[in-house]
Structure formats: C-alpha cells, structure tokens
Amino acid sequence: KQEVTQIPAALSVPEGENLVLNCSFTDSAIYNLQWFRQDPGKGLTSLLLIQSSQREQTSGRLNASLDKSSGRSTLYIAASQPGDSATYLCAVLNSGGSNYKLTFGKGTLLTVNP
Amino acid sequence: GAVVSQHPSRVICKSGTSVKIECRSLDFQATTMFWYRQFPKQSLMLMATSNEGSKATYEQGVEKDKFLINHASLTLSTLTVTSAHPEDSSFYICSAPTGSWYQETQYFGPGTRLLVL
C-alpha cells in the first residue's frame, strides 16, 4: 500500500525567503508525481507534474525534483510571496489493480508573512 | 487548462436525507472521473473511480450502497450520498484526467462542502 508523507506539516517564513517542501513515498513503482496547491475551502490547482523518467520540472519560481529510487521529491519555491500562502499537496500515481490511483500526502501548510 | 465544475458548492441537509453532487468536465470528455473525500486537516482520500458506461470501482471501506456513483455521459459523473448522517459531513472533490492520463495531470473540481445536521 502506497503511503505519502510530507514534511514539514506547517511552515511560516518571511516574504522573499527561498524554501523547500519535502515529500516521500513508500512504493517507488510510480507513473508520476504531482504537486498541487490548495487554498482554504477550495479545490486543487496542479503546479507541477514529474514523470517517473524525469528528474525535475520547473515552472516560474517553482522547481520540483524527483528521486524515484529513494522515494523522495522536493518542491523548491524561490523568493516566496504572501500569495504563495496555501497548503501544498504531493501526490503519486500508481497502478491500483484495474485502475490507476493517486495517493496524497497530508500537505504542508505554508504561510508567507509580508 | 481543462475545467472541471462541481455543483453544488455547499449543501446543508438533515440527517437521513440524500444529497446528489455533480461533477462536470466542461471542455473535455472524461471516460474516468475520481471522487475524493477530505476531512479537516487531512489529505484527500480516494473514494471511488467512476467509469463512463460501467460500474464504479470503490476503495476498500467505502460503502457502495451509501455512496452511489453514476457516470452516464462523458462529461458528467454524480455522487449521491444516501441517508446522510453527520459523520458524512466532509469536503467532496472530484477530478478528471485528460487524454492518456497517466502521463498528464488531473484536473480537480472546486469541491462540495457537505454538512449533515
């Protein structure tokens, strides 16, 4: 059974700081790994998707890396802004029997203080 | 990007009633949709996989007769919470992949907040 762990559970930083969010997973037989953002009471917004054959993906100030063999991923946010405040979720896609299945971590609640 | 909508966004109902939640893919067709439940400060938990034209696949521990799923068209899946109880109060989110979805991201609806009194 796939398990996804995110560390830290919460993080508070001053505006402008660079930061790293961590994600680990127990079953390395994944198809891809995705990072999502969730604002309070809202749905999910996809930030980055890394295929199992890839090592990293970049979008603007965001950079995500994947080390499939060790079951780890990091999300790097450069020059953080108050608008980055949200919960960041990591999810991995596995084959779940006859269907594919996304398994989520509990998320990291990020607060960027102005 | 692709858009997935959910309706209603928020619903309050009395215990024992049934509630239907709709999930629509607005600009693409989705043969598969997923239903998740999220309790406060917890992660999303997959409830079931909705397959167009066939029966849904439920995750272990999810009652099929309580959470009825219908995927009658390529753009609509519905989740009906039957005989709702206060412990069913939660945030329900659907998602739909586009194309060869193990290579592409899934698009999530904005969620439905259910409160059962």
Which residues have a Cβ under 8 Å from the Cβ of A53 and sit 6 or more positions away? none
pLDDT in tens, B38-83: 988 888 999 999 888 888 999 999 999 999 999 989 999 999 999 9
A57–chain B nearest CA distance, Å:
13
Question: Quick one: closest CA in B to A49, which residue?
Answer: B105
pLDDT tens-place string over residues B60-70: 999 999 999 99
Say yes or no: A106 contacts chain B, CB-CB below 8 A: yes
Give the closest of A41, A43, A46 to B109, CB-based. Answer: A43
